[in-house]
Amino acid sequence: MSIFKTTRRVAYSLVAAVAATFTTQAQADGHTIDLSGKTVEWIIPFSETGGSAKWANFYAPLLSEALPGQPTVVVKFMPGAGSTKGANFFQEQKFEDSEGTMIFGSSGSTQFPFLLGDPRVKYNYADWNVVLASGTGGVAYLPPDLAGKMNGLDASPLQGEDFIYGSQGATRLDLVPLLAWEMLGLNVEPVFGIKGRGDGRLMFERGEANIDYQTSSSFLKGVTPLVEAGTAVPMMSWGALDDAGNIVRDPTFPDMPTFKEVCEATAGCETSGEKWDAWKAFFIAGFPAQKMVFLPNGASEAAIATYTEAFEAVKARADFAEISSGRLGKYPQMTGAEAQGALKSGTEVPQAAKDFVVGWLEERYGVTLN
Domains of the chain, by residue range, sit at 2-135+288-346, 138-286
**What pLDDT score does 126 carry?**
95
Give yes or no on whether 2-135+288-346 and 138-286 have one common fold: yes
Strands 102-107 and 138-142, sheet pairing: unpaired
Measuring CA to CA, how many Å separate 36 from each of 72, 93, 316?
9, 22, 22
**What pLDDT score does 13 carry?**
39
**What pLDDT score does 270 carry?**
97
Q: Which helix (H) or strand (E) holds 106?
A: strand 102-107
Q: Which phi-psi region, left, alpha or beta, contains residue 164 (left: φ > 0; alpha: ψ -120 to 50)?
A: beta
The tens place of each residue's pLDDT in the chain, 370 residues long, gives: 333 233 333 333 333 343 444 443 444 345 789 999 999 999 999 989 888 999 999 999 999 999 999 999 999 999 988 799 999 999 999 888 778 899 999 999 899 999 999 999 999 999 999 999 999 999 999 999 999 999 999 999 999 999 999 998 999 999 999 999 999 999 999 999 888 889 999 999 999 999 999 999 999 999 999 999 999 999 999 999 998 989 999 999 999 999 999 999 999 999 999 999 999 999 999 998 889 999 999 999 999 999 999 999 999 999 999 999 989 999 999 999 999 999 998 999 999 999 999 999 999 999 988 6
Residue 298 CB coordination number (10 Å): 14
Asked whether 113 and 214 are in contact (CB, 8 A), the reply is no
Return the bridge partners of 211, or none. none
Q: What is the CATH number of domain 2-135+288-346?
A: 3.40.190.150
Assign 3-state DSSP to the chain and report helix, strand, coil percentages, each to 5.
Answer: 50, 20, 35
- Mutual orientation of helices 274-286 and 175-183 as an angle, nearest 10°? 150
Q: Looking at the whole model, is its pTM more than 0.75?
A: yes
**What pLDDT score does 314 carry?**
98
**What pLDDT score does 22 carry?**
40
* Separation CA 322–CA 181 (nearest Å): 34
**What pLDDT score does 216 carry?**
93
* Separation CA 252–CA 76 (nearest Å): 28
Q: What is the CATH number of domain 138-286?
A: 3.40.190.10
**What pLDDT score does 370 carry?**
65
